[in-house]
Amino acid sequence: MKYKPSHLGLRHVALYVCNLELTRDFYVEHFGFKIEWEPDSDNVYLTSGSDNIALHRTAIENDRETVLDHIGLLVCHAKDVDEWSEYLKERGVALISEPRTHRDGARSCYLSDPEGNKVQIIYHPPISRELS
């Protein structure tokens, strides 16, 4: 193969969760994801229209240090990170870290979902500019 195949970036993440309902509601209520498909009571697929989160029920708590570092939700502008921060705080969601600008010009903040998965709200200039 002489050419490099293209891709659209990371548009899907699958998470094992103990409390499927609470985690589903977290992404639906706070981030506006919609339920795309619920094939059974142990699996649900959420979509934002361009991204997909699959939640799979498990009875075993995952070792968060080795399974997943974080997932990122991309925003169009640096100021959007601050707006998300305020919105989430108003809804009672505690941040792990307040918004900050990184050396590369990205801006982000972090929070945890109900299962302890770290979620980053991120403005990443090369990608965000392309999509805005």
Q: Which domain holds residue 126?
A: 69-132
* 131: pLDDT strictly greater than 80: no
Q: What is the mean pLDDT of the chain?
A: 86
Residue 2 lies in a domain: no
Same domain for 49 and 85, yes or no, is no
Same domain for 20 and 43, yes or no, is yes
* 64: pLDDT strictly greater than 60: no
Q: Structurally, how many domains does the chain consist of?
A: 2
Check which CATH number belongs to the domain holding 109 and give it. Answer: 3.10.180.10
pLDDT for the residue 81 = 93
Same domain for 58 and 73, yes or no, is no
pLDDT for the residue 11 = 78
10 Å Cβ neighbour count for 56? 13
Task: Answer yes or no: pTM beyond 0.85.
Answer: no
